[in-house]
Each structure stands twice: as structure tokens, then as C-alpha cells.
Structure 1
Amino acid sequence: MAEDNGTGNKVDNIHGQPRKLPYQFIKDITNDFDEAQIVGRGAYGTVYKGTRENGEEIAVKVLQNMTGFDNKEFENLRRLKHQNVVELLGFCNESEKVVAEYNGKQVIAEKMHTALCFEYVCNGSLAEYISDDPCLGLNWQILYKIIKGTCQGLEYLRHGLEVPIWHLDLKPANILLDKDMIPKLADFGLSRLLGDENTRKTISPVGTWGYLPPEYVQQGLMTKEFDIFGLGVIIAKLMAGREGYSKIDDMKEKMFIKHVRTKGSSY
């Protein structure tokens, strides 16, 4: 059954090519942006869990400070189709006339409502599963699935698109896990098109400290290996646990390998 957004527009199947969705539909499925529906916050906006009439769950990312919808996150996301990349279902970019105060006077202003709708990934982010306690962490079969799937997602971004994409903020919090613990790369707010460039110099800050390669930290250089460094950090944390990884700089290579083997023997 199609949902009526209150203006006569119907919203039925939202899978396939990402499509424009009415603002009223976004309000309805999030219960008017109820705080109880918030599942995440970030620099680019707030993420709500939305539920359709048919029970389907959707993640709604309400974007802040967007003057229009020609933004890089949407343009990058709309062409991504891979099991290890979170699926974009639709977008909202709708204006509304509101009364606002300006220089002490009441004026009519235009307010933009901008949001992205994604498949809802129910098991949270990988960050929630990195643990020093094997009983609280993941078994080896699931760890392997997550590492392999993350690698496949990056491989797709690099070689599966006409114009490759740099993610630029690869970290456990941006790897979501579905009901089968299949990893999905998410949060492409910092991503950039790679093109034919091997190296790019930037003064704009990107990424998260601890997952940034030394050539970027020291010289501001972004290379094609930028995301690979972050992947290596993630794998090391998964294998060693938080405490083990925090000691990596103080350990010799053999000591670190021994720590990982000791932790791994408990799987």
C-alpha cells in the first residue's frame, strides 16, 4: 500500500534509483523528528530511524546548513550500488515559507528541508564491537566477514566506478553492520572523486585523527592509499582490541604479533 503524504502524493516502492521524497513523508516516518527516534549525530546532521506503514525501517539523515541540494555527498552516493556500501533510497530538498524575525521585524522567510534516506542497518556500527574482552567482541568467522566485506567495499569504490571515490573518513563508526553482520561503508560526507590523480595536496581538514596516513598528517598530501591506511588501523584494532592497539607504539613487532595470537586463541 502506498503512503499518502497529505498533499495527494503517493510514496510506494522507494527501492531502485534514488528518488525525491516529500518532506511530509520524512516527517511522518520519523514521528515528526521525535528525539526518541535519533540513532546518531554527526558534523553534517542528525540521523533518525524512520518506520513506514508497511513496517520497513529507514535511516533518515537530516542535513544542516545546506543552501541547496547540489552537494557532494548526494552526488557521490546516488551512483553507489554494492552490498558493502549503505544504499541510498531517496532524498528530500523542499522549501517552506516560515515567519522569522529580522532586525526586530516579523518577515516571511524560506526554510529549506534537506535529508537523505538510507537503508536502515540494524546492528549499529563496528565501533560498538571492538573490545578487549573476547566474550564481548566478535568471533573469528564474523571478524573475517567484516574485514573481507570492508575490503570489497573499498575495492568497489576504487575500481568498480567510472570515476573512483576516496572515502576519506574510514573508521569503525562509519562501518555499519546489518542483521547478518555484513559490513556496509557509510557516511560519505567527506568523500571526493578520485579521477586520474595519484596525489592531491589539501589544506582542508579531512578524516579522523588516528586513521590518517603520515603523509597527510605531515604534509597535507592525499594519495590513493589514503583509505588503505585507515583500513589497516581498523584491522589492527579488530585483531588486537582497544587496549592492545593503544600499546602498539610501545611494542616491538614480535610482541604485538604475540598479543594478537594470544587474543585470537580465545576465539
Structure 2
Amino acid sequence: MTEADLDQLLPFYEEGGAEGGFDRGVQRALERMLVSPEFLFRVERDPEDVAPGAPYRVSDLELASRLSFFLWSSIPDDELLARAIDGTLSDPAVLEAQVQRMLGDRRSRALIDNFAEQWLYLRDVAAKEPDPGFFPGFDENLRQAFQRETALFMDSVLREDRGVSELLTADYTFLNERLAKHYGIPHVYGSHFRRVSLDGTARRGLLGQGGILTLTSYATRTSPVLRGKWILENLLASPPPPPPPDIPALAERTDDGAALSMRAAMERHRAN
């Protein structure tokens, strides 16, 4: 804590002390600290000698903060801070070594989990409620297995530096017994997840995983429209335009009341 920090807190301590003694003074000073923008946010201020909008090199301490919150979603550890304080973190060799060390730490799981949850909207699986009348086998264990499968898959693709096309074409996934039974894949036992080949199945990559399929479905049925929109927005970065206002809802039955398959319903919808 610097002298400037103390100068900001001292008036609050003195005011509280006048109201209720030492304890009240400390309370007021702590309250001031806890509502400070520097406490609530990671603040980076532009150097005074840099023109607005001009690029500049961040300090080693700022670099340590950025690196730690990006890879760990947490504060720098002692080693990273030491390299920042001694001014060596910005050296490319030191920076590379620190990145590799941090990626090898179990805290780097936060990078994978947050990336997958935000990019793929995997967090939204928790809010999905498939209709038990149509999907009686769905329960909380299966929901959690869906999320875990995709998180482990993304972790594998990123850590093994696999090609981006493997997100859609991978012939493997990560299953436990509960999820393997749901997929109809035999010889997977126990609650722990392990890498499993998808040979002999139609499942491939993200679009074969239950979490993604749940995200892009309604409570009672699948939705090619929602799924296509998700692919365009999240995988291809090419969101579709809004639908015209006069498009009717998808008819799921014929005029005489017979149920339509999804393929037949979509063909009829396009024809109209």
C-alpha cells in the first residue's frame, strides 16, 4: 500500500473513529477499500505521455495480470509476480516459459471451461428442460455429463493443438457409463470420463454431442432451424438475417391430423 492509498483511507478512518472508536474507524476504511474501482475492477490507465488511441507497451505487472486472468481466471501467483517485479516477464523467452508453466497448471482448466461455456453457450444447457413425456431418460446426471463431455473434448482439441476442422469431424469423444448408455455405446463402465472412439456410430465432433444438441432443440423436439442458426453464429461467425415477419409456425401435422416427421415438416414448410 502506497502513501497515496493511505491518504485516501485516513479520512474515512478518522471519521469512523470519531463516531465509534477504533473498530468503527477500521470498518469505515475497509468499506472505502471494498467499493474502490481499483478493488472491484482490473484498472489499466493509459500512460500520460501517450496520445489517446495510440498503441503502447503495457508494464510487466499489467502483463502479468492480463496473462493470469486470461489463463487462470484468477490473480497472478508468486512466481509470475516475481518475474513481473524484476522486469523480465516481457522478455519473449521468459514470457513463453511462464505461459507453458501456467498452461500446465490445473488452474488453466478455467481457460477451457470459460472459453467453451461462452463461445458455445454451453452454460445454457443448465437452463434447458426437455419434456419428460418425450425424453423420460433425461435427468440431472445426464445434463452434467453433456456439459462435461464438451468441456473435455474442447480441452483435448486445444491442448493437443488439433486442427479446427476436428471440432466437426472428430471420431472420438469423452464418456462415462451414464452418457455411453444414452448414446448406445457399449463397454464403458464407471462414473469417470475417458476418451472413447465413435467408430460405428453416426456421431462426429461437436454436432454429435448431447449438450450441443440439447442447446439447439425445443423441449419436445429437435430444431434444424435453431441448429443451423447456432452453427452460423457460433462456428462460422455469419449470423443469418432475421426471419420475415409473416412466416407461419412449423406445422407438425398434415391437414387430416397425421403426424409429420421433421424432414417432411420442413419440406412442407419450405414449399409453402
Larger radius of gyration: 2
Same fold (TM over 0.5): no
Task: Report the TM-score when normalising by structure 2.
Answer: 0.23
Bigger strand fraction: 1
Bigger helix fraction: 2
Task: Report the TM-score when normalising by structure 1.
Answer: 0.24
Higher relative CO (CA 8 A, sep ≥ 6), structure 1 or 2?
1
